[in-house]
Amino acid sequence: MANFLLKYNFCLNLILDFEGDKMEGKVNAPNILIVDDEIGPRESLRMILKPNYNVYAVESGYAAIQMIQQIEMDVLTLDLKMPGISGIDTLKEIRVIDPDVMAIIITGYGTLKTAIEAIRYGVFDYIPKPFNVPEILSIIDKSIQRRKLNLKVKEVLGNCFNQQLLKESVVDSNFPLPKETKGIPDCKWDEVNLSDSQSCLEFAKVLAYTLEEKDPYTSGHSERVCYYSDFISKHLPLSPKERSELQIASYLHDIGKIGISNRFINKKGTLTPTDWAIIKQHTKKSIELLMPLNLSPSILSYIQYHHERYDGTGYPDGLAGEQIPLGARIIAISDSYDSMTSDRPYRKPLTNGDAKSELVKNAGKQFDPKLVSLFLDVLREMEEVFLVKDHLRAPAVSY
C-alpha cells in the first residue's frame, strides 16, 4: 500500500508539473528538461533558464524517460548520481526514444570513466557542480544551435539517402560498374551556413556523427581519426589554419560512403574486383558531395587522396611519395591505425602492439616512413599521458 501511494504521488506530481509548465509555455522557445534529484541545483537551474526557454524539471531518471516520451525536448541536462536509475542508464534509454536531444551532464560526481562513457552516448558537454551561470547559459545556447545544425544535416542526408536507395536496386556485384557513375549531385547545402573555419569544423563534426551513429562498425571512427591526426599535426610546423583544415578533412574523409551500399562496405569475406571498384569510388563521391560547400582546395585534396600509397600503388590517381598532400598522408596513417584497432565485420581488432607492427612493416610502401616514425612517438606520448590502451573505443571500419 505504501509503495502504491508513493508511485501515485510521484505520477500526480509529474502530471501537475507537466501541466503547469505547458500553461506557461513560450511559443517557439526551445524546450529544456532538467534531471536532478537535488532540489537546490534543480530549482536554481530552472530559475536561470526560465526567462528564455520552456523549462521542465524532474527528480529522477524514470521521470525523465516518461517526460521525453510525452514531449519533444531540445536540450536535456542530467545529473549522473541519482537514486533508482543512474544518469548514464537514463541517457541510454533516452537515446533510444530521441536520438536528437542534446544532452549536457551537470554533476558533482564525475570521473574520467563516466566522462568517457557519457561521450560515447553523444553528450554535448560535461560540466562539474557548482556550475557557473554565464558558462551554463553559453553552453545551453551552443547546444541549441548544434541541434538545429544536426537536424538540417539529417534532412539533407535523408534526401541523399533516399536518392541512393533508388540507385542501389540496380547496382549488384554480379554486373560491371558503369563507366560514368553519378555522385550525389542533388544534395543541397544551401541553408547550411559555413561562415568561418569554426563553423565549418562544427559542421564537419555533426556530419560525421550523423553518418556514423547508426552503424556499430563506424561509430566514432572519424572523431578518432581527427584525434590522432591532430596529435600528429602538433608535432609538425603547421599553421593554425593548416591544422584546422586537417581536422575538417579528418572528420569528412569518409563522407563519400553515403553513396556506397553497406553490402559492399561491410561485406564479409573476399571482395571481388567489382566490389573494390565500387568501394574505391567513395573518394570521388566525397568530392562531388562537398564541392557545393566551397571548402578550401587543401581540405578537398586531403579527402580525395587519403587512400593513395607512398609507393604509388594507391587510388584514385596513383600518386607517390610527396606528390601525396601532407594532410592526406597523415589521415592515411590515422585512418588505418584506427581501423586495425577496431572491430570489422570479419575480424576482431588488433592489439595496439600488432597495429604498430603493421605500420612499421608498411612504412615506405603504404605509408610515409617519416610520419610513421612520428606517429609511433605520438602514440607512446598518448599512452603515457592519456592511457590510450585503456581508452573506450567504439568499433569502426576503414577501406
Q: Which of 72-81, 164-173, 253-262 has the lowest mean pLDDT?
A: 164-173
pLDDT of the residue at 274: 79
Q: Does residue 141 lie within any of the structural domains?
A: no
At 127, the amino acid letter reads I
- Residue 326 and residue 282 share a domain: yes
Instruction: Give the confidence band of 24 by pLDDT, cuts at 50, 70, 90.
Output: low
- Residue 377 and residue 255 share a domain: yes
Q: Across residues 233-258, what is the average pLDDT?
A: 91
Q: How far apart are CA 309 and CA 59, in angstroms?
A: 56
- Residue 244 and residue 186 share a domain: yes
The residue from 84, 106, 133 where one domain ends is 133
Does pLDDT of 8 surpass 80?
Answer: no
CATH code of the domain in which 70 resides: 3.40.50.2300
Q: Does residue 144 lie within any of the structural domains?
A: no
Q: Across residues 149-164, what is the average pLDDT?
A: 63
Inter-residue long-range contacts of 275-284, CB under 8 Å, 24+ positions, other chains counted = 275/173, 277/177, 278/171, 278/173, 278/177, 279/399, 280/307, 280/315, 280/316, 281/181, 281/256, 282/254, 282/256, 282/257, 282/399, 283/256, 283/307, 283/315, 283/316, 284/183, 284/256, 284/316
- Residue 165 and residue 28 share a domain: no
Does pLDDT of 111 surpass 80?
Answer: no
CATH code of the domain in which 173 resides: 1.10.3210.10
- Residue 114 and residue 157 share a domain: no
Q: How far apart are CA 278 and CA 275, in angstroms?
A: 5
pLDDT of the residue at 123: 78
- Residue 164 and residue 32 share a domain: no
- Residue 120 and residue 176 share a domain: no
- Residue 162 and residue 124 share a domain: no
Q: Does residue 138 lie within any of the structural domains?
A: no
- Residue 153 and residue 107 share a domain: no
pLDDT of the residue at 322: 96
The residue from 94, 109, 133 where one domain ends is 133
Q: Does residue 395 lie within any of the structural domains?
A: no
- Residue 267 and residue 365 share a domain: yes
Does pLDDT of 327 surpass 50?
Answer: yes
- Residue 199 and residue 277 share a domain: yes
Tens of pLDDT along 182-238? Answer: 334 455 555 555 555 666 777 787 777 766 765 656 777 888 899 899 999 999 999
Q: Does residue 357 lie within any of the structural domains?
A: yes
How many domains is the chain partitioned into structurally? Answer: 2
**Can you give the residue range of the structural domain that contains 337?**
149-390
Q: Across residues 79-103, what is the average pLDDT?
A: 86
- Residue 281 and residue 219 share a domain: yes
Q: Across residues 115-132, what is the average pLDDT?
A: 70
Q: Are 251 and 204 in contact (CB under 8 A)?
A: yes
Q: Does residue 381 lie within any of the structural domains?
A: yes
Instruction: Give the confidence band of 396 by pLDDT, cuts at 50, 70, 90.
Output: very low
The residue from 102, 133, 164 where one domain ends is 133
Q: Does residue 33 lie within any of the structural domains?
A: yes
Q: Is the dihedral of CA 267, 270, 275, 281 positive or negative?
A: positive
Instruction: Give the confidence band of 372 by pLDDT, cuts at 50, 70, 90.
Output: very high
Tens of pLDDT along 256-304? Answer: 887 676 667 767 777 778 778 888 888 988 888 788 777 899 999 999 9
Q: Does residue 139 lie within any of the structural domains?
A: no
pTM: 0.60
